[in-house]
Structure 1
Amino acid sequence: MMLDSLYNTPVASVIFALTIGLSLFVFSNPQWYGRLMLHPYSIHQDKSKAYTILTSGLIHKDWMHLLFNMMTFYYFGFSLELMFVQFSGPLGHLLFAFLYVVSLILSDIPTLLQQKNNPGYYSLGASGAICAVLFSFILFQPKAMLGLFMVIPIPAYLFAFLFLGYCIWASKKAHDGINHDAHLFGALSGLVLTLLMYPWAFRHLLSQF
């Protein structure tokens, strides 16, 4: 089963394993958080710290943070890579990698701009890129049933509207230590990049209703 996944979905498999492995490493070696977390102030002062835009997406705060993100990625990331291969052949693997990495970067840009003068602000987690994967999946499967609060089944397109609305509200009003801007801009990046790669996806989306 593991070898099949590595063969059929090599990019998703590597992302999944690398994210879990590096997260477990920092759980046991917390001194590495300072080196790998996103710290916009440090990047603004020293552009050589820009690598943390990527490394911060491979580590997580705690077990619950890691579990939630990896469950989401497991259910949608592997399926999406298979879809891309179905659409584009072997090139689909590279397109999936492009979507994930570029969305991870784009999802952090608003945070980098907003927090560049705040030395006390740090961020970490793969949520921005995973939101991109989820929303790309929804473009192709808008009527798939997703779990609101992981319990209440609702169509994917309705989940998407509720999620975006919540992210917009939470980015302005919530003070829970969660980077809601990364969620919002990750989701939007996933939609835009998918439509750039597969312009027909918009017609497909409309045809589902």
Structure 2
Amino acid sequence: MVSILLIAVTIIISLAAWQKPDWMGKMLMNPYRIQHRNEYWRFISSGFIHADFTHLFFNLFSFFFFGVQLERIFNQLFPSVASELYLVFYLLAILVADLPTYFKQKNNPNYNSLGASGAVSAVIFAGILFFPTEKIYLFGFFGIPGFIYAGLFTWYSVEMDKRSRDFVNHSAHLYGALFGLVAMTILYPQVWISFVEQITAMLR
């Protein structure tokens, strides 16, 4: 499965980068170097490295549960090109999620970010479109319906991006999520009918 392959590649690259700081530096999302030195690979390479084990674990833990499920949906909807389409979806999510940050920070040589959060957010929100009422468990025990989680997640990302008090690129979470919604709307617009029907049934 493509999801398992992406997880394996991300783990291998992240572990290797931790041992080679110079390599890590060349893979970071650095808008200034992209703009002024044409290091365009950073758009994608930054999505396969992580700051530490906790960062890596939580991204891949979320991706495992939502990614495998979403890949099965791709296999059902687009059987002849499912693997290729799913891989393109994931890689584009890494790129698109970082574009707003790139335009905002392209003249700031000190800005760096890394991680697969944008792509993982895209996968999560695309999955929520198909299963909006399935519960997402925060911290392993507190379950809330997917569509409510989506609203809370969006609010949190917007607020944290305004404050910018940590080193997490919260705007990548937000734009990755938006990409997931838009991409699935383009690929399979009928999903919104099912989405509304499931929520309506739950609220009755």
Kindly indicate whether the alpha-carbon contact (under 8 Å) linking 1:148 and 1:159 is maintained by their aligned counterparts in 2: no
1:42 lines up with 2:33 in the alignment: yes
- 1:20 equivalent to 2:11? Answer yes
Query: Matches of 2:24 and 2:197 in 1, distance apart?
Result: 46
Residue 149 of structure 1, CA deviation: 4.3
- Whether the 8 Å contact between 2:129 and 2:192 is mirrored in structure 1 is yes
SS at match of 1:117: coil
Q: Report whether the alignment pairs 1:122 with 2:112.
A: yes
Ranges in structure 1 where 5+ consecutive residues have no aligned partner: 1-8
User: Structure 2 CA distance, aligned partners of 1:193 and 1:97?
Assistant: 13
Structure 1 stretches of at least 4 aligned residues deviating more than 6 Å after TM superposition: none
CA distance in 2, matches of 1:67, 1:28: 18
Moved more, 94-103 or 62-71: 94-103
Paired residue for 2:69? Answer: 79
Tell me the distance in 2 between the aligned counterparts of 1:148 and 1:160.
13
C-alpha separation in 1, matches of 2:173 and 2:140: 17
Given that 2:113 and 2:167 are in contact with CA atoms closer than 8 Å, whether structure 1 keeps it comes out as no
Q: CA deviation at 1:150?
A: 4.3
Once residues 60 and 141 of structure 2 are traced to their aligned partners in structure 1, the CA distance between those partners, rounded to angstroms, is: 17
Structure 2 residue identity aligned to 1:12:
S
Aligned equivalent of 1:113: 103
Return 5+ residue gaps in structure 2 as ranges.
Answer: none
1:16-165 alignment to 2 at 5 Å?
16-47=7-38, 49-165=39-155
In structure 2, C-alpha distance between the alignment counterparts of 1:61 and 1:90, rounded to whole Å: 37
AA aligned to 2:173 is H
| Identity across matched positions, percent | 39
Hey, what's the Cα distance between the residues in 2 that align with 1:150 and 1:191? 25
Please, what TM-score do these two structures have when normalized by structure 1? 0.92
Which residue type is aligned with residue 57 of structure 1?
Answer: G
